[in-house]
Amino acid sequence: MLKWNKLGIKNRLIIIFIVIQLLIIGLSFYYFSSNHREFYLEQEKISLEHYSQLMLNNIEIEEILTSSQSLEIKAAEWSDDSETRITIIAADGQVLADSHYDINEMDNHRDRPEVVQAIRSGSSGNAIRYSNTIGEEMLYYAVPVREQGDLIGILRTARPLEFIRSVLIEDIKSYLFFFVILAVITIILGWRLTNSIVKPLETVTETAEKISEGDLTQRIPVRKYNSEIEKLARMFNYMAEELEEKITEISQEKNRIEAILESMVDGVIAVDKEGKISLINPAARRIFNIEAEKIKGKEIISSLFNHRIDMYLQRAFDKKESISREIKYKNPEQKIIQATFIPLLDDQDNINGGVIVLTDITELRKLETVRNDFVANVSHELRTPLTSMVGYLDTLLESDIEDQETRDRFLRIIKEETDRLSILIKDLFNLSKIESQSFDLKVENFEEVLTKVVNLLEKNAENKKIDFTVQIPDNLSPVYMVREQIKQVLINLIDNAIKYTPAGGKIEVKVEKEGDKVYFFVKDNGIGIPKADQERIFERFYRVDKARSRVLGGTGIGLSIVRNIVKQHGSEIQVKSREGEGSEFYFYLKAAE
């Protein structure tokens, strides 16, 4: 069964129109059939009354009183002329004559309703009933026959109602045809009216649905509808235009904010008043090494497993003011984060949420450490030779040393310290120059440069009885490089390998070409580098073994110069080493062919 509340307006209006039409047709049929039946019955009564009066004028009183046979003849003649059943009844109810049936077989009619009514009223009586004699429904009309005021008989006329029924049926057919045409016209007009109301509403609904799905360009055609619908359409279009404009503004603002958040170096995390994460930008995800989908909607402490962040956030909420703290976080590498916790307040100063701004200061702290180490190291490196020089000069100036050999020995020491200081200053100058300038790379013969460096340092390896081998492929491609800089890199790496490889050790220099790159490897089986120091050996003045490096004449700047030169050539210096087993340094240059 249909539920009225679930039906659309169109279906409701159609059902209402159909019900109204059925009610109109039903009531009209009832009204017209009833009135017409009464009308035709009244006309029949009048007709029977006229016939009765005509018949009374032709009946003799004596014929009734004597029950003359002539009454049957007259009744038959009158019946044939008027198509009416004629019955003449005596005052006592005995049938004297009947136009259709044998009076001997007929009952006493004294108790017939029309007869009783005619006797009582003194004028006429009528009744409608089913006639068992004729076998159909009849209209009976009876009038009294009097002689000087005394009732002497009853003249009864009757006609079947079949004629009236046939006339009524014909009328009903005519009315039904009329009402069907009227109903069709009404339904068509109702349908058009319904469409004129419902169609615009459906258009409004469809347009609103498309707008809700994101198509803000949808509009309702205005000129198709009447004034009320047109006004609604205009207002809807105005609302859609305003909505499109506002959403466009919001979308643009959202895109700008997202672009800013995406491009920010600092991490940003937005949380609601319960501390659940609603937004996290890429920088914050990189800091915590976590995916946004895994933490959105979750609490800070359960997402990041850091109680301090949650604690400081709650403290900012409690104080309703921003606070900044430095936090150490490890996942998997340890990072130092400068975190600012900002509560978001509404107009009533209630907490709506919060924002956490994160700045990764790990590299800054490392640079500060490197800077402090550099200052300490350079101070130490400069102070050591200067102290030695000042001490020997003071001895020479303040002491009366007559022994020429002692004086010469002091001067030689001062000269060595001066040379060492000069080399240190020269290395610092070269490093500063390399870091501050960019160089144009030219196509050079790498094999030629490497051969000259090997020839230069080969004698040092022989003096320590080191097995020194060089492997260079035939027809090695030229490379892009700055000749003097790469020569300095090769001297530094090979010389370090010779210095830190004990006598009788082994050094292997190898060159390989892979794709568009030419790789240089220098491998030794010397003292090696502890894993903890491998990340810092390229820092200025950093030494794994300071005493040993100083004895071997190192300044602690060589590998820093190597790293910067290699970077200038678009490459990276790499190291593989195990303490006590040796080290391998390698880098690549881009091939020119």
Report the b/e string of 178-216 with b at 16+ CB within 10 A: ebeeebeebeeebeeebeebbebeebeeebeeebeeeeb
- The pLDDT value given to residue 436: 56
185 in any annotated domain? no
Domain hosting 148: range is 12-166
Tokens of 235: 């207002």
Nearest-angstrom CA–CA distance, 544 and 560: 14
Residues 577 and 443 in one domain: yes
Q: Per-residue confidence of the chain (593 residues) as pLDDT tens digits?
A: 456 666 666 667 777 777 777 787 777 767 766 676 777 777 878 888 888 887 887 777 777 777 777 787 787 888 777 778 888 888 888 888 888 877 777 888 888 888 888 888 888 888 888 777 667 788 888 988 888 778 888 888 888 877 777 777 777 777 778 777 877 887 777 777 777 777 777 777 787 788 777 777 777 776 655 567 777 777 878 888 888 888 888 888 888 887 887 778 888 888 888 878 878 888 888 877 777 666 666 666 555 656 777 888 888 888 888 988 888 877 777 788 888 988 988 888 888 888 988 888 877 877 777 666 665 666 655 666 677 677 767 777 777 666 777 777 777 777 766 766 676 666 666 656 665 566 678 889 999 999 999 998 888 888 888 999 999 998 888 999 988 888 888 988 998 899 889 888 999 999 999 888 999 999 999 888 888 777 777 776 665 554 444 444 455 677 887 888 888 888 899 999 888 888 999 999 999 87
Nearest-angstrom CA–CA distance, 6 and 12: 10
226 in any annotated domain? no
- The CATH number of whichever domain residue 553 belongs to comes to 3.30.565.10
Which of 112, 139, 166 delimits the end of a domain?
Answer: 166
346 in any annotated domain? yes
Residues 457 and 578 in one domain: yes
Q: Compute φ and ψ for 573, nearest 5 degrees.
A: -85, 130
Nearest to 261 by CA among 287, 286, 279: 279
Which of 313, 341, 360 delimits the end of a domain?
Answer: 360
Nearest-angstrom CA–CA distance, 513 and 590: 10
Rounded to the nearest 10°, the torsion over CA 291, 294, 298, 299 is -50
183 in any annotated domain? no
Number of structural domains (the chain) is 4
Nearest-angstrom CA–CA distance, 62 and 445: 167
With H, G, I as helix, E, B as strand and everything else as coil, classify residue 375: helix
- The pLDDT value given to residue 522: 92
351 in any annotated domain? yes
Q: What is the DSSP string of 430-474?
A: HHHHHHH-----EEE-HHHHHHHHHHHHHHHHHHTT-EEEEE--T
- The pLDDT value given to residue 154: 87
Q: 323: Cβ–Cβ under 8 A, 6 or more apart, which residues?
A: 312, 315, 316, 340, 341
Residues 455 and 386 in one domain: no
Residues in the chain: 593
Residues 144 and 80 in one domain: yes
Quick check: bond before 502 cis, omega within 30?
no
Residues 341 and 371 in one domain: no
With H, G, I as helix, E, B as strand and everything else as coil, classify residue 17: helix
Distances (CA, A) of 112 to 56, 132, 156, 469: 20, 13, 11, 153
- The CATH number of whichever domain residue 296 belongs to comes to 3.30.450.20
Sign of CA dihedral 125, 126, 131, 135: positive
Residues 455 and 559 in one domain: yes
Report yes or no: 358 and 341 within 8 Å, Cβ to Cβ. Answer: no
- The CATH number of whichever domain residue 395 belongs to comes to 1.10.287.130
Sign of CA dihedral 176, 178, 181, 183: negative
Residues 335 and 405 in one domain: no
Residues 288 and 379 in one domain: no
Residues 281 and 384 in one domain: no
461 in any annotated domain? yes
Nearest-angstrom CA–CA distance, 438 and 431: 12
With H, G, I as helix, E, B as strand and everything else as coil, classify residue 216: coil
- The pLDDT value given to residue 548: 44
Q: In which order are the strands placed within the sheet that holds 125-131?
A: 95-98, 85-90, 150-160, 136-147, 125-131
Burial class (CB in 10 A: 0-12, 13-18, 19+), 559: buried
Sign of CA dihedral 186, 188, 189, 192: positive
Which of 382, 409, 435 delimits the end of a domain?
Answer: 435
Residues 351 and 375 in one domain: no
Residues 442 and 582 in one domain: yes
- The pLDDT value given to residue 238: 82
Longest pairwise C-alpha distance within the chain: 207
Residues 152 and 16 in one domain: yes
Q: In which order are the strands placed within the sheet that holds 277-280?
A: 277-280, 267-272, 351-360, 334-345, 323-330
Nearest to 291 by CA among 305, 281, 276: 281
182 in any annotated domain? no
The residue ranges of DSSP E strands in 35-94, in sequence order, are 85-90
